[in-house]
Amino acid sequence: VQLPAWNEALGLPRPWDQQWSLRLQQIMAYETDLLEYEDLFDGNPAIERKVGALKEGARAELAKIDEMGGAIAAVDRGYMKQELVRSNALRLADIESGLTKVIGVNAFTETEPSPLTSGEKSILTVDDMAEQEQIEKLKAWRSDRDQKTVESALADLKSAASEERNIMECSIACAHAGVTTGEWSETLRDVFGEYRAPTGITSMIVTGDAENLQDLRKRVDQVSDKLGERMKMLVGKPGLDGHSNGAEQIAVKAGDAGIEVLYEGIRWTPEELVRNAIEDGAHVIGLSILSGSHVPLVREVVNGLRAKGAGHIPVVVGGIIPESDMLVLRQMG
């Protein structure tokens, strides 16, 4: 059962939020007769036209991908990701212009405070100590296993990967030996390297009304003149958060404004982002975090910059951040 909770965009859903989602589905299933019909829309001419248009568009897209040499070739050249980014950029441009209405965003934005989002426990947060507790459990796990068996299993895994043999049997042996996911993946990373998917941010994509960006572009030019080079912004996605739409659109809009954007996709460690920012000469760092881990991740980035003598680089954070955490982040600098 899929449980997309109503407040999932605010943070981790609470058990009650998940229960609410489940109950709504159960009401639809057991208190209505929806399940007694195979297809309520069968024969509806409007639905038939829409389905026909979707099929036509899908076939045209598949033909284009075939011309590129297939799906793998289209992924490798960045076409698929670029089309996703472009499509989302056009949608956001329509929202910004008012052509597309999104209730609560650009239409009917007046609102009363919600009792569902007020109070200390309105948003589920994870205690910072949870990470340390997990680290201690991992240390205990490693200390209790047979290290020789672990090393032998990892050696077999590396050998199989290097010889391009099936690694399933070796992976199962690693699991029985107590090999951790990190050790398993690091062994494969040593053999195959690390794949970085195309970001879709390969060229400037003008979004919205260009006239609205003229003043901003002038200010970017002025700052760039003072810097003696084009202003650079590193857009980073630290941690395991895979929700990249926000970061991608920030990168697109920053490029539209004349900023040189440094964006290499998702799942970077704070240490890697600090290193990249310094090596690439970023003038500002923009972090997009929607995993709920913004406080510890930002702390690591800010402390890492200061440790490297780069504490002067401004750090801007975006994501789903509760009011209480905003104060904590500002106090970090």
Counting beta carbons within 10 angstroms of the beta carbon of residue 230, is it exposed (0 to 12), middle (13 to 18) or buried (19 or more)? middle
Which candidate, 234, 236, 235, places its Cα nearest to that of 283? 234
Q: Are residues 238 and 283 in the same domain?
A: yes
Question: pLDDT per residue over 9-21, tens digit each?
Answer: 777 788 888 898 8
155, 56: one domain: no
How high is the pLDDT of residue 203? 59
Q: Tell me the CA distances in angstroms from 20 to 15, 33, 53, one per residue in order.
A: 9, 21, 36
Q: Is the pLDDT of residue 207 over 60?
A: no
Total count of domains within the chain:
3
CB 246 within 8 A of CB 290: yes
Tell whether the model's pLDDT for residue 138 goes beyond 80.
Answer: yes
In angstroms, the Cα distances linking 19 to 5, 24, 28, 104 are 9, 9, 14, 25
- Give mean pLDDT, residues 318-332: 89
Residues 184 and 106 in one domain: no
Determine, yes or no, domain membership for 138.
yes
| pLDDT surpassing 70 at residue 209 | no
Q: What confidence tens digit (pLDDT) does each residue in 225-245 have?
A: 999 999 999 999 999 888 899
Q: Which domain holds residue 232?
A: 210-332
pLDDT of residue 159: 98
| Same structural domain, 83 and 143 | no
Count other C-beta atoms under 10 Å from residue 97's C-beta: 13
Q: What is the distance between the alpha carbons of residues 325 and 333, in angstroms, rounded to a whole number?
A: 13
Positive or negative, the CA dihedral 308, 311, 313, 319 is: positive
Of 162, 192, 222, the residue that ends a domain is 192
pLDDT at 259 over 90: yes
What is the pTM assigned to this prediction?
0.82
Structural domain includes residue 8:
no
Residue 205 lies in a domain: no
User: Is residue 2 one of the residues assigned to a domain?
Assistant: no
Position 124 in a domain: no
Q: How far apart are CA 95 and CA 209, in angstroms?
A: 12
Give the gyration radius of the chain's Cα atoms.
25
pLDDT digits (tens, 9 = 90+) for 171-189: 999 999 999 999 999 999 9
In a shared domain, residues 221 and 309: yes
- Same domain for 62 and 142, yes or no, is no
Whichever domain contains 234, its CATH number is 3.40.50.280
Which comes out higher in pLDDT, residue 66 or 205? 66
Residues 100 and 149 in one domain: no
Same domain, 135 and 52: no
Average pLDDT, the chain: 91
Are 308 and 274 in contact by the 8 Å Cβ rule? The answer is: yes
User: Is residue 25 over pLDDT 60?
Assistant: yes
DSSP letters spanning 190-225 = HHH-------S-SS----S-GGGGHHHHHHHHHHHH
Give the relative orientation of helices 181-192 and 147-162 as an angle to the nearest 10 degrees. Answer: 30
